[in-house]
Chain A
């Protein structure tokens, strides 16, 4: 009863605060639209270099109906490599030898994928036996002249972004809301009533949990129907993961808000708590031991679970570990919050 009252109060507060509501519901869609155009810049012109490539093959590449392809011809491998380094082309297809080589500029992950698509789809469209040389290999050799191979595309990012956005907003808005309760004296007022400390924490979880479900529903529908991301697994599992993420973020935000004395000090937690998690949660490939550091971040488990469900269509048994970690973390944070309130009221 009291838990519901608290949850209702939080929802009414946010309804009155139109800007926060907009931030929660609309901002993520805006961010995703930008991310979509970053990774699916469909109308960009692709410059592809060719060395000793059959005319028929060049024609097939140029007439690709998905991308706008421009072909530059070079005499030798060195000339092609120089063009690539000068960033005149994104890829160079060299058919001088029997086994064709593709030189690539991996620093532009999106364009490289598109260039590879163009080269490979041309290969599927023509009869290779007609070509003068023997190119039967399934996999042509690829060589990254610039940058490294990076598989991150909108699909990979999209799944991870859902978790990040939920975590970020719930952490910040939940933490600031609870901080406001402390600084305005309403927490003390609340503690002068017969409410139990755990009821306060659970009330917050219920209120922000409802908000998080709403947010992830709108977010997922937008990403699926407007930005055409395919969710392979169950949408309910996606909601479950985001809900657990929201609870972890909220209880962590509440916990850290006791260390802050103002909203601004709450914002100062962003570079400490949020940014490292974004970099280490698994949407970026890391070298060295940094991927291990990710295992200590709640968002790592969210990202892993979301990737498994959205991209690979896994069922709950496969992501049980991730869910368990999020549950345990939430449990720990809830306990700490309840204990921290003890400093405010002994009972």
Chain B
């Protein structure tokens, strides 16, 4: 029962193309779990199945002991998509207020949570600007703020720090650490190795298969490598030789 998310033998087809070939993941509560892999490897599809936006062609997803997809669970999951998914013609505050209502927060909760998430992503002084006038990094931070809004037990973040300057990226990762201390589980997809190293646990994904999983250290040591990149290459080759 320590696992907050379990993916069991997940297959996903788009029409005739199979993009996930039996993904198995067990994600413990209160850690940062990274999904590492190149673009097109099935990371985004995996997190969409996880959040219940997509339905797996076969296999089971269990979140906090509930079978997905489920309306009840959706309030417990904060999702930040790869695209910014913001209403450009609204101000940042109006975006947040809209999603607060959709999540069903009451008035006092809304005000409190909006203040908290805005200060977390450092956008408090720009909250009354139209999103249209935001820079790419600011939009990314606002998307993150919206994902945090409903105080979810699980945060699913698809490439969260793309286009954010290194200083702020550091701040955001510290905030991630703080969130895990509160018992929140974070699932972060990335293709950047140094970001992957900051995760507590990692799953390496390639061509719709999990090629290896464990802590970054374990993955490096077990594959007899010096860096995560080297480990990724070695596990990848291992997978290819099995296929042949």
- Which residues in A have some Cβ–Cβ distance to B below 8 Å? 1-2, 4-6, 8-9, 12-13, 16-17, 184-186, 188-196, 344-347
Contact = CB atoms under 8 A, between A and B. Distances in A.
Given A12-B90, A192-B74, A193-B99, A345 B53 contact: yes
Interface residues of B, number: 33
Closest 10 CB pairs of A and B: A5-B101, A185-B83, A346-B55, A189-B85, A185-B85, A192-B79, A194-B74, A347-B69, A9-B98, A13-B89
Contacts, number: 84
B102 interface: yes
Residue of A186, A344, A346 most packed against chain B (CB within 10 A): A186
Q: Which of the listed residues A6, A16, A188, A193 has the most CB atoms from chain B within 10 Å of its own CB? A: A193
Contacts of B77: 192
Most chain A beta-carbon contacts within 10 A, residue among B77, B83, B102, B130: B102
Nearest to B104: A1
A236 B234 CA distance: 74
B contact patch SS: loop
B102 A191 contact: no
A13 B87 contact: yes
Nearest to A190: B102
Nearest to B82: A185
Nearest to B78: A192
A51 B75 CA distance: 86
Given A184-B83, A194-B75, 13 more contacts: A2-B102, A5-B102, A13-B87, A16-B90, A184-B85, A184-B87, A184-B88, A189-B85, A190-B102, A192-B74, A193-B75, A194-B104, A195-B102
A346 B69 contact: yes
Interface string B111-153: 0000000000000000000100000000000000010001000
B54 A2 contact: no
A13 B94 CA distance: 9
B84 A185 contact: yes
